[in-house]
Amino acid sequence: MVLPARLCLAAVGAALSGVEPAVVLHQVAGTFFDTALLMEVKERYANASYPGLSTEESQQKAMSDFYMTYHLIIRLTPIVPALILARLGDRCRGWRRATVAAPLCGYLLFRVALLLLLVFRLPLPFMFGATVLYELFGGHCTFWSGVMTVTALRSTARERAKAIMRVELLYGLAGLLGSLASGHLFLVKTVGWAEGTVLLALSILLELLGFLHSIFLLKMKQTEAKETSLGEVDGGEEEEGEEERRILLIPPSSKDVPADTPADAPARVMWVNVVLLFVAAALYDAAVVGAVELLAVFVIKEPLSWSATQVGYGDAAGCTIFLTSFLGVLLFRRCLNEVLLIMLGMASFASGIYFMSYVTATYMFYLARSLNMFALIPLPTIRSLLSKQVPASACGTTFTALQLSLKFAGLAYVPAFTKIYQNSLAWFPGLVFTLSSALTVLAMIPISVVGCRLPRTPQYEPL
């Protein structure tokens, strides 16, 4: 009985020392916060008035303007802090934890800011200043890249892909559970406090626990290369620089490479394929983000007119896409190549978001979201395909360039989608979703060209 107890304690200790608890706590806290913010914005702009617009159209315009400014700040502010924290994490020993802890500290302050706004009835633009403050701590860009780096450093090369997919899956499941609970918790009232106060208090508590976990429990232990494959290791530990060289996909020496390792990285940059993949990623990101960011405002208006509970259920439906996309990759990766996987995900999103254009009832919304079940497959797969079009030593730079290009593109398409939505409210509110579907179809064109340019994979194994 002593041995199983020790094994259980060891397993619990290993789980608590990983980054997964911080990810789960942060995601649940985030779903609570998003529901509280949306309902507060809806309440503040309930009596908005614009010349020539009805009360509901005025509310929709005011809410979409708020979220447009909010998302532009989120995209623009964290670029420099993210680069600084990433460089410190790579160059300075002991700073790797900062890429997870610093953004969580910013998120914690942001949650507190909304609670102060709710309790003291501060003006809503106060949240713009709070957004700038929390993004100066690195924001989601730094947090997620830090999570991926910590996950990679804590896993062996053979188990790394599975470890990263496990974190993605936990992130989606945490969002699902948090969204289901958020609407009900929003309605919980306490004497003398407004609706949403309890929900925000729980969000702050969970974020605080995640921050404390990243400071005191998160271990930055790197895997030691003691795997004897092809006479590779004499028994000593690898240096930190060697491990990080592997994380960055810099080609190892021939003695470190198993005989059956495929040589996916070319000797030079395949510029045409890289440009086509960048274009496809930018178009698809514009289609997804431009539509989904307005979806929260769309469900508030008639004919849906969702309550806080229904908003939570809708967010949960979006989070299930993490699970279905993960299962889709597991199911189809053996029979479809990466190009066809990307096309499958894009077709899934294009069909679902086009159906969303004509949604007039709640059940139709869930039918449209069910068509999006593989919508998260394209961008990660594009990154995987992109890594095979450049030398291994240039993968990090290429991924950073892609992420920055998507951020800067957002500065153009977020206002564009918002203005189109506002100007089409009276005659076709779903126009932005139709436009999003059309952009997704356009994104499939460069992917198809890349598929034609890639060499055919042989269906046999060389002797």
> pLDDT tier at 233 (50, 70, 90 boundaries)?
very low
Distance CA 439, CA 446 (A): 12
3-class DSSP state of 225:
coil
Nearest partner of 21 among 216, 198, 224, judged by Cα: 216
Interior/surface letters 22-55, b for 16+ CB within 10 angstroms, e for the rest:
bbbbbbbbbbbbbbbbbbbbbebbeebeeeebee
- Which CA distances in Å does 400 have to 313, 403, 412, 459? 34, 5, 19, 34
Per-residue burial over 160-194, b = 16 or more CB atoms within 10 Å of its CB, e = otherwise? beebbebbbebbbbbbbebbbbbbebbeeeeeeee
CA distance 415 to 44: 22
Our CA angle for 380, 258, 387, nearest 5°, is 25
- What is the separation of C-alpha 270 from the centre of its chain, rounded to a whole number of angstroms? 28
- Cα distance between residue 280 and residue 87, in whole Å: 28
Query: How far is 234 from 429, CA to CA, in rounded Å?
Result: 66
Region of 139 please: left (phi>0), alpha (psi -120 to 50) or beta: left
Encode pLDDT of 136-181 as tens digits.
998 887 888 778 778 767 776 566 656 777 888 899 899 999 999 9
Indicate the angle between helix axes 126-135 and 55-76, nearest 10 degrees: 20
Q: What is the pLDDT of residue 426?
A: 86
Which range is least confidently modeled, 21-35, 207-221, 384-398? Answer: 384-398
Residue in the block written with tokens 């809708």: 314
Contact 220, 96 (CB under 8 A): yes
Q: Is a pLDDT exceeding 60 seen at residue 404?
A: yes
- CB of 217 closer than 8 Å to CB of 150: no
C-alpha to C-alpha distance for 204 and 32, rounded to whole angstroms = 9
CA 152, CA 222: separation in Å to the nearest integer?
A: 9
Please state, in angstroms and as integers, the Cα–Cα distance from residue 91 to each residue in 144, 219, 364, 406, following that order.
18, 18, 51, 26
Token pair 């406090």: residue: 193
Helices (DSSP H) in 187-228: which residue ranges? Answer: 197-212
- DSSP symbol at 336: S
pLDDT in tens, 259-287: 333 345 566 778 899 999 999 999 999 99
Amino acid at 413: Y
Nearest 10 degrees: Cα torsion 398, 409, 131, 148? -30
**256/392 Cα distance (integer angstroms):** 15
Question: Quick one: tokens of 133?
Answer: 């403050």
Which pTM does this prediction carry? 0.77
Residue bearing tokens 């003695």: 255
In angstroms, the CA 307 to CA 35 distance is: 10
Q: Which residues are within 8 A (CB) of 439 and not within 5 positions of it... i.e. 6 or more apart?
A: 283, 284, 286, 287, 290
The pLDDT, as a whole number, for residue 329 is: 83
What's at 433, amino acid-wise?
Answer: F
Copy the structure tokens of residue 381: 């797969």
pLDDT value of position 38: 93
- Separation of alpha carbons 44 and 196, rounded Å: 14
Please name which of 324, 364, 365 lies closest in space to residue 344, comparing C-alpha atoms. Answer: 324
What is the identity of the amino acid at 152? A
Domains of the chain plus CATH, in order, are 14-219 (1.20.1250.20), 263-458 (1.20.1250.20)
**Do 240 and 91 meet the contact criterion of CB atoms below 8 Å apart?**
no
- Decide if 433 contacts 353 (C-beta within 8 A): yes
Q: How confident is the model at residue 240, as a pLDDT?
A: 40
What is the number of other CB atoms lying within 10 angstroms of the CB of residue 443? 27
Percent of the chain with pLDDT over 70: 79
pLDDT of residue 148: 76
- Nearest CA to 50 out of 37, 34, 64 is that of 64
- Over 50: is that where the pLDDT of 412 sits? yes
* 76-128 per-position pLDDT tens digit: 888 888 778 877 776 666 677 888 999 999 999 999 999 999 999 999 999 99
